Amino acid sequence: MRPLMIQLSRFGVVGLVGFGVDLGIFNLLRATLLDPERLHEGPLLAKVISTSVAIAVNYVGNRYWTFGTTKRREVAREGLEFVLVSVGGMILTLATLWVSHYLLGFTSALADNISANVIGLGIGTAFRFAFYRSWVFHPSRTVPLRPVDEPSEDQALVTNR
């Protein structure tokens, strides 16, 4: 249970960094270039761009820290699977934004942030963690870079002296 809690905590920290990137870029774009007053699809485009940048940030954090002991040597395949799961989460987020903004008519910046960055993000985060853990970074699909119980070279040098 402890390893799962550590993994969840790390996932949360990486997610907070990605959330900051996503939130900042989304609001900057929505308030400037992609303002819905200038471009009808502005909020959706802003969310696609901001989430895409956050996906890149999250991949690095999750690959090297959250799931660092189970990363695979096939980086391209792992990255593709990570992006597929991330895009699935983004689609869930876009769906909540679309329903709120275009179907229900809640068009303020606050409403867009609540629908995309609270409700959509919550649903998308649960989806992503489940699939990262069970598919992309699942231990059975990886070749550990070194066994968890085996000390690193630096630790072995210190203990053998």
Per-residue pLDDT of 28-77, as tens digits, reads: 999 999 999 999 999 999 999 999 999 999 999 998 899 888 767 788 88
Higher pLDDT, 142 or 103: 103
pLDDT-derived band of residue 3, with 50, 70 and 90 as boundaries? Answer: confident
Confidence of residue 145 (pLDDT cuts 50, 70, 90): low
Which DSSP helix (H) or strand (E) runs through 156?
Answer: helix 153-159
- The residue extents of the domains of the chain are 2-143
pTM value > 0.95: no
